[in-house]
Amino acid sequence: MNIITQTPHIKKLNPKTQRAVEEKFERFDKLFDRIERCNILLKKERNEKRDNFLVEATLVVPGNDLFAKELAESFEVAAEKVCQNLESQIKKHKAKLNQKATTSVDNYIEEDELE
């Protein structure tokens, strides 16, 4: 899986922060081996009271792309929330794929038994 990190409007992102965020997304390789690419967007949004950190991630998988977006007090916290969201989406996607595979096999078996 390729991980592409984009940081528009952030001139210098701490390499430690970037590595920590990317490590959180590397765990998806173990969950689902058919992920082609992970696009991560890190943005810093300024409000009147405090800075907010936005993390958007898109996982490119065959069929549908999975997307999550979170706003938090740091990139690490937002990335963790995004990862949790994407993890549940991956599990649903895998269950859907398994259900389709099982259904087609069951239909094939029933047709053979009729003959």
Q: Which of 13-22, 91-100, 105-114 has the highest mean pLDDT?
A: 13-22
Rounded to two decimals, what is the model's pTM?
0.83
Q: Is the pLDDT of residue 105 over 70?
A: no
- Give 57's contacts (C-beta < 8 A, 6+ positions apart): 25, 38, 39, 40, 41, 67, 68, 69, 79, 82, 83, 86
**Integer Cα distance of 99 and 115 in angstroms:** 25
Q: Which two tokens stand for residue 112?
A: 């053979």
Q: pLDDT > 70: what percent of the chain?
A: 90
d(CA 94, CA 100) in angstroms, rounded, equals 10
Instruction: Please give the domain boundaries of the chain with CATH numbers for all domains.
Output: 2-89 (3.30.160.100)
For 72-97, the pLDDT digits (tens) are 999 999 999 999 999 999 999 999 88
